[in-house]
Chains A and B, each alone.
Chain A
């Protein structure tokens, strides 16, 4: 089955540590996105990539980094520079020009 997979589902991080969230898709989509969702709030764009080896900052990129070495993979690293990383993170891919976004099941990151 085609889809988009995020792992892990839950992640705990100590203050000062970097952590990497995985996002893999087998839909052959060119574009991939990372969103952050805080309780009771909407989705805010962190980074997006429209093609391999290229990515752009979204609205809240500070404290995050990404890479896009393969079409299927778009990992997100939450660095120690991110002051308030506790949140729900969603990865999505888009089949341009159809533009319907497919989402992973999310990763809940908690700083302990």
Chain B
């Protein structure tokens, strides 16, 4: 079974600065997708960014980018120019075509200091 690990239960960043959230995963598949989801206090899950494993280029969405290291099975999220609205729980998730299910990490709580 696939596992997703987020080793940072909490992170803190100053407003306008950059922060990186870590995620590692374990899989024997070669074809899969990786995601970062944001869960604000409203608890609504919001997709932040998605990466296809077959793509070498790291995904970017505005202030959010990933560092995808397939050999190391690492998938970190970088948030640039952090804003107060970025404060939330962030979940890393794995989707493998073999299992056809989405597996989540334990989450990282991000706090943004004004």
Q: Mark B34-58, 1 if CB is under 8 A from A, else 0.
A: 0100000011110100100000000
How many A residues are at the interface, by size bracket?
20 to 34
Q: Which one of A17-25, A37-45, A67-75 is at the interface?
A: A37-45
Could you list which residues of chain A lie within 8 angstroms of chain B, going by C-beta atoms? 31, 33, 35, 40-45, 48, 50, 58, 88, 90, 92, 94, 96, 99-101, 103, 105-106
Say which residue of B6, B33, B44, B100 sits within 8 Å of A103 (CB atoms): B44
Whether A58 contacts B101 by the Cβ 8 Å rule is yes
Docked CA distance A44–B91 (Å): 12
Could you list which residues of chain B lie within 8 angstroms of chain A, going by C-beta atoms? 6, 9, 33, 35, 42-45, 47, 50, 91, 93, 95, 100-107, 109
Whether B102 contacts A105 by the Cβ 8 Å rule is no
Q: A43-B91, A103-B44, A103-B45 are in contact. Are A92 and B106 (CB under 8 A)?
A: no
Whether B102 contacts A101 by the Cβ 8 Å rule is yes
Question: Separation in Å of the B2 CB from the closest CB of chain A?
Answer: 11
Q: Interface on chain B toward A: helix, strand, loop, or mixed SS?
A: strand
Whether A106 contacts B43 by the Cβ 8 Å rule is yes
Docked CA distance A99–B99 (Å): 12
Say which residue of B42, B43, B104 sits within 8 Å of A42 (CB atoms): B104
Whether B104 contacts A100 by the Cβ 8 Å rule is no
16 A-B contacts (beta carbon < 8 Å): A33-B101, A35-B104, A41-B107, A42-B6, A42-B105, A43-B91, A44-B104, A45-B103, A88-B43, A90-B45, A99-B95, A100-B47, A100-B50, A101-B35, A103-B44, A105-B43
Q: A99-B33, A100-B47 are in contact. Are A48 and B106 (CB under 8 A)?
A: no
Residues of B within 8 A of A90 (CB): 45
Give 14 A-B pairs besides A41-B107, A42-B6 with Cβ atoms closer than 8 angstroms: A35-B104, A42-B91, A42-B105, A42-B106, A42-B107, A43-B91, A45-B101, A48-B101, A58-B101, A88-B43, A100-B35, A101-B47, A103-B45, A105-B42
